[in-house]
């Protein structure tokens, strides 16, 4: 089934959506990116163009290939422009209400009844999003990792309603067309990676919150003492502290384990708009790119 997927839609042109759109375009796919309005759509195009330029500067991509990839992308502020897509990947803010609303709308807009509707959610139940549509058997989790053009892993998550052929098609498409490494997960909060990663990040937040060690020392300790490429607090800043908090809340809601509860410091930083790298300040301070 995945052999026929040549028209892809991405809802959301932020950090994750832009990355997903980029890898699709670089794989030769006709890709439409939908944002909230025309202004946000232009910003999404700039985001992808900048990423492609960085890949060229670093010798990872030929300049002609970068231009060809950008030429395969269309950016729009109208969800209706996704009507003819064979696969649509939702990649908006990690908010259950927002995602459910988008899936209900896509169910009415996407014309092909065999089209697959996928979500890049980090932690929300796939079944809940599927039930917002009349095609829950065609809804699946397709969780990429940031930065999408660099990290090769994708989690494929099936709900109790997802048809086996949907999972097989998405897995084949992701592995063969996009060239990613696929792992499967059951439909539970956090899936595989975040269920393991987020408690570790929260432990680092609690350590900083208690004054036991500074953010810099915590990160240096894990980088040089455990050979991690990035310390936990710098990684949390890269993911986005609001996203980390949202995943933690989803994990805690499902399992009621204290280790999943977001620490007060994390919640206060989110309330203050100190979300990490993209806002210039989180546990560390960042200069503009």
Q: Quick one: pLDDT band at residue 135, thresholds 50, 70, 90?
A: very high
Residue 289 has pLDDT above 80, yes or no: no
Helix, coil or strand: residue 281: strand
Provide mean pLDDT across the span 205-212.
98
Mean pLDDT in residue range 216-222: 98
Specify the length of the chain in residues: 289
CA 244 to chain centre: 12
Mean pLDDT of the chain: 96
| Contact by Cβ (8 Å): 64, 77 | no
Model confidence at 123, pLDDT cuts 50, 70, 90, reads: confident
Q: What beta strand segments (E) does the chain contain?
A: 7-11, 30-34, 73-76, 87-90, 116-119, 139-144, 153-158, 181-186
By the 8 A CB rule, do 247 and 191 touch?
A: no
The pLDDT score that the predictor gives to residue 2 is: 45
Pairing of β 153-158 and β 139-144: antiparallel
Distance CA 225, CA 219 (A): 10
- Quote the pLDDT of residue 230: 97
Helix count and strand count (H, E) for the chain: 11, 8
Considering Cα of 174, then 1, then 6, then 158, what sign does the dihedral take? negative
Among this protein's residues, is 122 annotated catalytic?
yes
Rounded to an integer, the average pLDDT of 78-87 is 98
Rounded CA separation 220/207 (Å): 14
For residue range 143-191, list pLDDT tens digits in order: 999 899 999 999 999 999 999 999 999 999 999 999 999 999 999 999 9
Q: Mean pLDDT, to the nearest integer, of 9-17?
A: 96
Annotated catalytic residue within 22, 90, 94, 155: 155
Q: Which of 2, 35, 94, 143 is catalytic?
A: 143
Q: Is the dihedral of CA 134, 140, 143, 144 positive or negative?
A: negative
Cβ atoms < 10 Å from Cβ of 244: 29
Evaluate if residue 3 carries a pLDDT over 60. no
Examine the residue annotation and report whether 194 is marked as an active-site residue of this protein.
yes
pLDDT tens for 230-252 read 999 999 999 999 999 999 999 99
Taking residues 5-25, report their average pLDDT: 97
Sign of the Cα pseudo-torsion (212, 216, 221, 223, in order): positive
3-state secondary structure of 44: helix
CA-CA distance, 132 to 112, in Å (whole number)?
A: 17
* Residue range 35-67, pLDDT digits in tens: 999 999 999 999 999 999 999 999 999 999 999
At residue 287, does pLDDT exceed 60? Answer: yes
Contact 120, 142 (CB under 8 A): yes
pLDDT at residue 201 tops 70: yes
3-state class of 141 per DSSP?
A: strand
**Which run of H or of E encompasses 238?**
helix 232-239
User: Which domains can be identified in the chain, with CATH numbers?
Assistant: 2-186 (3.40.50.720), 194-279 (1.10.1040.10)
Confidence of residue 4 (pLDDT cuts 50, 70, 90): confident
Please state, in angstroms and rounded to a whole number, the distance separating the CA atoms of residues 241 and 24.
27
The yes-or-no verdict on residue 78 having pLDDT over 70 is yes
Give the β-pairing of 139-144 and 116-119.
parallel
- Which entry of 159, 194, 246, 250 is annotated as an active-site residue? 194
**Is 143 tagged catalytic?**
yes
């Amino acid at each position: 089934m995945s052999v026929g997927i040549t028209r892809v839609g991405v809802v959301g042109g932020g950090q994750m959506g832009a990355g997903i759109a980029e890898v699709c375009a670089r794989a030769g796919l006709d890709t439409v990116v939908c944002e909230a309005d025309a202004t946000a759509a232009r910003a999404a195009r700039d985001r992808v163009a900048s990423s492609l330029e960085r890949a060229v500067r670093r010798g990872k991509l030929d300049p002609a290939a970068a231009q060809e990839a950008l030429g395969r992308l269309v950016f729009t502020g109208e969800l209706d422009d996704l009507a003819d897509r064979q696969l649509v990947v939702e990649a908006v803010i990690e908010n259950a209400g927002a995602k459910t609303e988008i899936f209900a709308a896509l169910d009415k807009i996407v014309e092909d009844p065999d089209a697959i509707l996928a979500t890049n959610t980090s932690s929300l139940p796939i079944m809940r999003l599927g039930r917002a549509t009349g095609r829950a058997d065609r809804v699946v989790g397709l969780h990429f990792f940031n930065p999408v053009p660099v990290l090769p892993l994708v989690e494929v998550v099936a709900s109790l309603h997802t048809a086996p052929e949907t999972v097989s098609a998405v897995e084949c498409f992701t592995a063969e067309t996009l060239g990613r490494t696929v792992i499967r997960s059951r439909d539970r909060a956090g899936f595989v990676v975040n269920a393991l990663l987020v408690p570790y990040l929260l432990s680092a937040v609690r350590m900083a919150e208690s004054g036991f060690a500074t953010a810099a020392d915590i990160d240096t300790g894990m980088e040089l003492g455990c050979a991690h490429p990035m310390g936990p607090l710098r990684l949390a800043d890269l993911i986005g502290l609001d996203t980390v908090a949202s995943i933690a809340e989803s994990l805690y809601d499902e399992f009621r384990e204290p280790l999943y509860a977001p620490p007060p410091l994390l919640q206060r930083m989110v309330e203050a708009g100190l979300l990490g790298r993209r806002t210039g300040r989180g546990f560390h301070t960042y200069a503009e790119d």
